[in-house]
Amino acid sequence: MMALTSDDFAVNGVILPLVTTARADEVERRIRLAISIGLIPNGQQLPAETVLASRLGVPLTTLRDALARLREQGLVENRRGRTGGAFVTRPASPAGLPAGVPDDMSK
């Protein structure tokens, strides 16, 4: 039996650079997707940070990084006070169109 070389692994696609996404990037992507498809509608409060981090299986700091990015994009805002928290500030896109496409273009 002939020994395999590192070139054999590369040719067969086994030893290739890993494709990794930062956890905060993935959390941001998932929440943005939930907003864009209407699972979390405009004005809806997100679950408490500790609950959301637990559901996503990420540390609280990772969730906070993702939420900060979503705030920068204008998708989420923080409200203070007894009924405060993180709220969606942009409605889902109509008919699956990218955000910013006017409603009348979907007809």
Domain locations in the chain as residue ranges: 23-92
- pLDDT value at residue 16: 60
- pLDDT value at residue 96: 44
- pLDDT value at residue 48: 93
- pLDDT value at residue 102: 43
- Report mean pLDDT in 10-residue bins for the chain, 107 residues: 56 59 90 91 93 93 95 93 89 49 41
- pLDDT value at residue 6: 55
Candidates 3.30.1230.10, 3.40.920.10, 1.10.10.10, 1.10.579.10; CATH matching 23-92:
1.10.10.10
- pLDDT value at residue 105: 39
- The per-residue b/e assignment along 63-88, b for 16 or more CB within 10 angstroms, e otherwise, is bbbbbebbeeeebbeeeeeeeeebbb
